[in-house]
Amino acid sequence: MPYIINNSCIACGSCAVVCVHNAIDTGYNQTKDVSKGQEFGDPFIINNNCTGCGECLAVCWPGAIEEVRVNQIT
């Protein structure tokens, strides 16, 4: 997948709304550590359905969606 979602994600869900390829999943860990002041959900996750269309980039105002460079894939 050409994009990943980093820890800047506030789980607003905007990217999942615009992704017509159903490539964005909510975070799976539902446990929140309130002692650390976490107010939002876990970062969303881009799955293998991602085509790289880039539509999600335009709506992610926290800048949490990053392009994955080839040399970063292990």
What residues make contact with ligand SF4 under the rule CB under 6 A?
A: 3, 5, 9-15, 18-19, 21, 23-24, 44, 46, 50-56, 59-60, 62, 64-65
**Nearer of residues 29 and 60 to ligand SF4, judged by Cβ:** 60
Identity of the residue, 27 or 71, whose beta carbon is nearer to ligand SF4 in the bound complex:
27
Least spacing, CB of residue 13 vs ligand SF4, in Å: 5
Q: Transcribe 23-72 into DSSP letters.
A: -EE--S-----GGGT--S-PPPEE-TT-----HHHHH-TT--EEEPPGGG
Closer residue to ligand SF4 in complex, CB, 12/30: 12
Residue 31: CB atoms within 10 Å:
6
Distance of CA 71 to the CA centre of its chain: 20
